């Protein structure tokens, strides 16, 4: 006879009695910590970030869901149920777990978790606005996971720092003396341990574009980045002397080419635009593949360049 955990359990309704008495292991704690760092993660990305046996990780995901320690939902696909997207949605349950385990409460986004259950219930997650937001968040998570896992496999490049979300938001003053929002999706630092001293780090801003705003708005975003550096705010806010590039990843080659043209137009007044912005489309290439192009030329770049 199959055990309760081996039986088919509901996919969108918790059955706590099915996991009654099962303890949360170190693998379960690592899964929770990983989701906390990323906010939203596809099951496949959790598997590669946590490591170990894939089937074991999926069993832990199932257990944690039915124990009400992690949440999940799917986004609609044209012909089938989409892949599970995992997030944290039970602050009180996680605090109880932290009291009895090695879960580090300092790195858990408690305020965000308190809002998640209502915002991302199965029913609510199907609204158009929420669908677009989640797709955008998953795009950010995918690059983050690519960089993190690539660093585990190749110690010549490591992801030293990753920051995303509203903590990055600020503003700059445009030529009309009006504030212009500067809101990158992420900021990260790569470290190259084998490089000469003084050349061991590259800093990047990242923008995930899902073709939801027009090219006028894209021009404003690029201009805000240019002014951010020209006004020295990268040093003021991040304590860094320079940024290697602003990476802009989008959903198609056509969209990437449109944005490259915007960068070239900006370069007429601010030549930095031809070299600062690197564009690419979403694909399955490795994290450090040559896939990025600037507005200034057609040479294909890698994040290691």
**How many residues are listed for the chain in this entry?**
305
Distance CA 40, CA 53 (A): 21
**Residue 292 DSSP code:** B
Secondary element (H or E) of residue 182: strand 179-182
Q: What is the pLDDT of residues 173-215, one digit of tens each?
A: 998 889 999 999 999 999 999 999 989 999 999 999 999 999 9
pLDDT given at position 132: 86
List the domain boundaries for the chain: 4-126, 131-294
Give phi and psi for 182, each to the nearest 5.
Answer: -120, 105
- Note the pLDDT of residue 2: 42
pLDDT tens, residue by residue, 244-289: 999 999 999 999 999 999 999 999 999 999 999 999 998 888 899 9
Residue 114 scores a pLDDT above 90: no
Task: Note whether 281 and 275 are within 8 A (CB).
Answer: no
Say whether pLDDT at 66 is over 60.
Answer: yes
CB 120, CB 73: distance < 8 Å: yes
Q: Is residue 68 over pLDDT 70?
A: yes
Q: 58 burial class (0-12, 13-18, 19+ CB within 10 angstroms)?
A: middle
Contact yes or no for 211/250 (Cβ under 8 A): yes
Residue 76 pLDDT > 90: no
Contacts of the segment 121-125: beta carbons below 8 A, 24+ positions apart: 121/73, 122/12, 122/73, 122/74, 125/73, 125/75
pLDDT over 90 (residue 5): no
Distance (Å, rounded) from C-alpha 293 to C-alpha 253? 11
CATH number of 4-126: 1.10.10.10
Question: What's the pLDDT at 107?
Answer: 76
Strand stretches in 3-131, DSSP E: 41-42, 71-73, 85-87
Q: What is the pLDDT confidence band of residue 65, given thresholds at 50, 70 and 90?
A: very high
Beta carbons within 8 Å of 12's beta carbon, 6+ residues apart: 73, 122
Q: For the whole prediction, is pTM greater than 0.85?
A: yes
| Higher-confidence position of 105 and 208 | 208
pLDDT score for 79: 59
pLDDT of 105 strictly over 80: no
Find, among 181, 178, 200, 197, the residue nearest to 189 by Cα.
200
């Amino acid at each position: 006879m199959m055990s309760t955990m081996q039986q088919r359990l509901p996919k969108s309704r918790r059955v706590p009695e099915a996991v009654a008495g099962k303890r949360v292991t170190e693998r379960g704690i690592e899964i929770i910590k990983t989701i906390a760092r990323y906010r939203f993660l596809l099951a496949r990305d959790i598997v590669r970030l946590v490591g170990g046996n894939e089937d074991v990780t999926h069993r832990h995901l199932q257990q944690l869901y039915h124990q009400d320690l992690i949440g999940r939902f799917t986004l609609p696909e044209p012909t089938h149920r989409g892949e599970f997207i995992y997030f944290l949605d039970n602050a009180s349950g996680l605090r109880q777990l932290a009291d009895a385990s090695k879960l580090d409460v300092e790195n858990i986004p408690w305020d965000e978790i308190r809002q998640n259950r209502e915002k991302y219930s199965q029913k609510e997650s199907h609204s158009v606005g929420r669908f677009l937001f989640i797709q955008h968040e998953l795009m950010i998570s995918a690059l983050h996971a690519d960089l993190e896992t690539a660093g585990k496999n190749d110690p010549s490049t490591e992801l030293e720092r990753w920051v995303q979300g509203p903590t990055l938001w600020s503003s700059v003053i445009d030529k009309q003396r009006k504030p212009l929002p500067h809101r990158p999706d992420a900021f990260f630092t790569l470290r190259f341990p084998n490089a000469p001293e003084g050349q061991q780090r590259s800093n990047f801003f990242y923008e995930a574009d899902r073709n939801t705003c027009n090219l006028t708005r894209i021009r404003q975003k690029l201009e805000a980045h240019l002014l951010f550096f020209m006004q020295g705010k990268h040093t003021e806010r991040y304590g860094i002397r320079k940024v290697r590039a602003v990476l802009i990843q989008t959903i198609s080659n056509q969209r990437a080419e449109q944005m490259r043209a915007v960068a070239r137009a900006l370069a007429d007044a601010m030549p930095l635009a031809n070299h600062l912005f690197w564009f690419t489309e979403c694909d399955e290439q490795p994290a450090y593949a040559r896939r990025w192009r600037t507005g200034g030329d057609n040479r294909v770049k890698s994040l290691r360049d």
